[in-house]
């Protein structure tokens, strides 16, 4: 039974596109057939993050307006079996698509994919409404910042008002050393406010920037801490119960984290 | 000829007015083509479209042309509505228009809205009588899988590129129009032109330049360029710095190899050679 997951946040710049790309690539690595849809019409990015920008011929708006068939617009990722991208149009805007169109599109995609991942644009307007229309469940991305959490809270309310099941939370850009100093909100503070199940924590790490610049999702990187974090998220999305690593008990992982942080007190709990 | 009151508060009253007056004239102009005179009035594109729809659906009258002050009608109307625009400078009430077609006059209120923020396309029209590029859709049998991303890198010597030989695709006639663009095109900008296109500036990633003829970029071409968009594969794409995300000539699509910026900068030209898009150094003597 295919499932459509929308990745949303309310606030911009918290990592929706990166999360979408890595979640989609991770699911494909796990052997699923995945279509990821860039719903950010007019400000498309997912194609760049996935490194597929130069292969775009047709886009989502052209599919919806009947200029081409859905199959033609889907770009197959050559690095991993089963990963497809439906790019957004760059020369149009959100008003070019209506929620009913998205619903129809998602239903078509669900026919021959196991997962449909929708990369939602920032905001709560048309783009958000389009993205949420065909979704079966939502994943909320936030960073440990008051403003991002405020927006996430608002989005959770909107998602629930759309009769979707309780959304899941990913905390992005987590910096354990700042948390241990008390300079950053910790996981429990965030969960206390948002009160939805946590399915992933992604540390702030240069690997993300490098992978974005290369157009190679970090989830492909076997040795990256962030890649591992995304692989765990992928598993949890598929319903596999993966324990949250106790970073303290895993010196290997910590060593990695410390290397980029320069130094880190050993007592941080994530 | 039908006259409508100059001041109408909204579209509803305009529609009511048309419905009231049209039946008397349907016998004369029903099933025929008419032109519409907007006189001095402004009409938003959306309402204009509704007027055309109303005339077509209820009275079987096809509007083929529009008289309007150049400023009063949205610049995309010509292409969007597939109408011919006749600029009218005078701003008094319209005179009787005698043409080979019958005519009728409509008017509407409301302010003109510049939707340009909504539709980011740069329309090079205004000065040049541009005909709408209706045939500018890509063939439907292209799929990204067909893309050949093994385009040969610049060939060491200049190859002979076939000159305009009439193939299956219509070859361009001599004396085609040229559009010159004096700015850098940024992500999301699209320029379409029926003829040759010159860009004095860069074409950034995410921008598109589409022309039925040749495309010359006097700057860096990093976005998408589609030359010979109506099917003429003798067209070429030339740029001072040719590093596009994608190139299309006629029905061919190519993804040039990734290149570092600034490395060995020289003008290059892309053309179809042996059914394949080929890049080569431009040395100023292409024949």
B261 contacts chain A (CB < 8 A):
no
pLDDT at B97: 38
pLDDT at B23: 73
The region of weakest confidence among A93-102, B71-80, B245-254, B278-287 is B71-80
Residue A69 burial by Cβ neighbours in a 10 Å radius (0-12, 13-18, 19+): middle
Residue of A nearest to B252 (CA): A57
pLDDT at B153: 39
Residue A244 burial by Cβ neighbours in a 10 Å radius (0-12, 13-18, 19+): middle
What mean pLDDT is predicted for residues A55-67? Answer: 95
Residue B244 burial (CB count, 10 A): 25
What mean pLDDT is predicted for residues B31-53? Answer: 71
Best mutation target, B76, B116, B141, B188, to test chain A (most A CBs within 10 A): B188
Q: What is the pLDDT of residues A219-264, one digit of tens each?
A: 999 999 999 999 999 999 999 999 887 654 344 566 666 666 665 5
Start-to-end C-alpha separation, chain B: 56
Using CA atoms, how far residue A214 sits from A14, A47, A91, B220, in Å, is 19, 12, 24, 21
pLDDT at A250: 45
B118 contacts chain A (CB < 8 A):
yes
Q: Which of B281, B259, B262 is nearest to B271 (CA)?
A: B281
Residue A177 in this model has a pLDDT that exceeds 50: yes
Any idea which fold A3-260 has?
Answer: Rossmann fold (3.40.50)
Average per-residue pLDDT in chain B? Answer: 68
Per the model's pLDDT, the better-predicted residue between B76 and B228 turns out to be B228
Q: What is the pLDDT of residues A115-126, one digit of tens each?
A: 999 999 999 999
Residue A178 in this model has a pLDDT that exceeds 50: yes
Q: Which of B236, B237, B235, B242 is nearest to B266 (CA)?
A: B242
pLDDT at A153: 95
Residue B6 burial by Cβ neighbours in a 10 Å radius (0-12, 13-18, 19+): exposed
Per the model's pLDDT, the better-predicted residue between B58 and A31 turns out to be A31
Place B45 in a pLDDT band, splitting at 50, 70 and 90. Answer: low
Residue B103 in this model has a pLDDT that exceeds 50: no
pLDDT at B98: 36
Q: In terms of residues, how long is chain B?
A: 287
pLDDT at B14: 75
A42 contacts chain B (CB < 8 A):
yes
Pairing of strands A168-174, A137-142: parallel
Q: Which of A57, A58, A91 sits opposite B188 (nearest CB)?
A: A91
Place B144 in a pLDDT band, splitting at 50, 70 and 90. Answer: very low
Residue B107 in this model has a pLDDT that exceeds 60: no
CB–CB of B206 and A90 under 8 A? yes
B245 contacts chain A (CB < 8 A):
yes
What sign for the dihedral angle of Cα A256, A262, A265, A268? negative
pLDDT at B18: 77
Q: Where are the domains of chain A?
A: 3-260
Instruction: Pick from A41-55, A250-264, B54-68, B171-185 the range whose average pLDDT is largest.
Output: A41-55
With contacts defined as CB-CB under 8 Å, which chain A residues touch B246?
54-57
pLDDT at B121: 40
Sheet holding B196-199, edge to edge: B178-181, B196-199, B215-221, B237-242, B268-273, B276-281
Strands (E), chain B: 33-37, 62-68, 84-87, 102-105, 178-181, 190-193, 196-199, 208-211, 215-221, 224-227, 237-242, 246-249, 252-254, 268-273, 276-281
With contacts defined as CB-CB under 8 Å, which chain A residues touch B187?
90
Chain B closest-CA separation from residue A42 CA (Å): 7
CB–CB of A72 and B144 under 8 A? yes
B140 contacts chain A (CB < 8 A):
yes
With contacts defined as CB-CB under 8 Å, which chain A residues touch B140?
68-69, 72
SS3 assignment, position A73? helix
Which residues have a Cβ under 8 Å from the Cβ of B90 and sit 6 or more positions away? none
What mean pLDDT is predicted for residues B26-45? Answer: 70
Q: In the numeric block, which tokens belong to residue B286?
A: 């292409």
Q: In terms of residues, how long is chain A?
A: 270
Q: In the numeric block, which tokens belong to residue B206?
A: 């995410």
Q: What is the pLDDT of residues B151-189, one digit of tens each?
A: 443 333 333 333 333 344 444 556 678 999 999 999 999
Q: Which of A42, A69, A75 sits opposite B144 (nearest CB)?
A: A75
The region of weakest confidence among A121-135, B12-26, B234-248 is B12-26
Alpha carbon B189 to its chain centroid, in Å, reads 13
CB–CB of A72 and B143 under 8 A? yes
Decide if the complex's ipTM is over 0.85.
Answer: no
Half-sphere CA count of A92, side-chain side, radius 13 A: 18
pLDDT at B284: 78
CB–CB of A72 and B188 under 8 A? no
What mean pLDDT is predicted for residues B55-72? Answer: 73
Q: pTM, whole model, 2 decimals?
A: 0.65
A126 contacts chain B (CB < 8 A):
no
pLDDT at B197: 95
pLDDT at B73: 59
A227 with A219: CB under 8 angstroms?
yes
pLDDT at B34: 76
Residue of A nearest to B257 (CA): A54
């Amino acid at each position: 039974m295919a499932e459509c997951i929308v990745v949303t946040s309310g606030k911009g710049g918290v990592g929706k596109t990166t999360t979408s790309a890595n979640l989609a690539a991770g699911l494909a690595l796990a052997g699923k057939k995945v279509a990821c849809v860039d719903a950010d019409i007019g400000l498309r990015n997912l194609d760049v993050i996935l490194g597929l920008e130069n292969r775009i011929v047709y886009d989502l708006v052209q599919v919806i307006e009947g200029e081409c068939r859905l199959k033609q617009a889907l770009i197959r990722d050559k690095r991993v079996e089963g990963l497809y991208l439906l790019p957004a149009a760059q020369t149009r805007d959100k008003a070019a698509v209506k929620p009913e169109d998205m619903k129809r599109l998602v239903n078509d995609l669900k026919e021959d994919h196991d997962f449909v991942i929708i990369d939602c644009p920032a905001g709560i307007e048309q783009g958000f409404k389009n993205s949420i229309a065909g979704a079966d469940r939502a994943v909320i991305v936030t960073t440990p910042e008051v403003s991002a959490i405020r927006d996430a809270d608002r989005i959770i309310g909107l998602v629930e008002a759309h009769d979707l099941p309780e959304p899941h939370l990913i905390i992005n850009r987590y910096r354990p050393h700042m948390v241990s100093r008390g300079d950053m909100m910790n996981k429990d503070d965030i969960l206390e406010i948002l009160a939805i199940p946590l399915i992933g924590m992604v540390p702030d790490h240069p690997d993300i920037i490098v992978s974005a610049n290369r157009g190679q999702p970090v989830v492909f990187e076997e040795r990256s801490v962030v890649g591992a974090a995304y692989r765990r998220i992928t598993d949890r999305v598929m319903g596999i119960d993966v324990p949250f690593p106790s970073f303290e008990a895993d010196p290997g992982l910590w060593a990695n984290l410390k290397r980029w942080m320069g130094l880190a007190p050993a007592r941080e709990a994530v | 000829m039908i006259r409508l009151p100059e001041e109408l508060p909204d579209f509803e009253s305009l529609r009511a007015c048309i419905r009231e007056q049209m039946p008397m004239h349907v016998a004369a102009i029903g099933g025929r083509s008419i032109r519409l005179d907007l006189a001095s009035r402004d009409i938003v594109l959306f309402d204009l479209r509704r007027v055309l729809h109303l005339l077509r659906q209820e009275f079987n009258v096809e509007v083929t042309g529009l008289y309007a002050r150049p400023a009063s009608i949205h610049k995309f109307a010509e292409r969007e509505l597939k109408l011919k625009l006749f600029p009218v400078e005078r701003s008094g009430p319209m005179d009787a228009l005698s043409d080979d077609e019958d005519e009728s006059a409509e008017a509407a209120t409301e302010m003109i809205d510049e939707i340009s923020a909504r539709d980011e396309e740069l329309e090079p029209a205004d000065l040049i009588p541009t005909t709408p590029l209706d045939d500018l859709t890509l063939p439907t049998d292209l799929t990204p899988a067909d893309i050949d991303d093994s385009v040969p890198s610049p060939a060491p010597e200049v190859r002979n590129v076939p000159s305009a030989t009439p193939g299956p695709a219509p070859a361009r006639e001599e004396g085609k129009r040229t559009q010159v663009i004096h700015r850098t095109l940024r992500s999301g900008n699209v320029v379409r032109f029926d003829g040759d296109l010159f860009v004095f500036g860069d074409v950034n990633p995410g921008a598109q330049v589409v022309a039925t003829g040749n495309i010359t970029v006097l700057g860096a071409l990093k976005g998408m360029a589609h030359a010979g968009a109506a099917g003429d594969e003798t067209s070429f794409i030339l740029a001072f710095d040719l590093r596009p995300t994608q190139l299309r000539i006629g029905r061919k699509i190519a993804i040039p190899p990734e290149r570092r910026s600034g490395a060995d900068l020289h003008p290059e030209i892309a053309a179809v050679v042996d059914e394949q898009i080929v890049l080569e150094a431009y040395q100023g003597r292409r024949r």
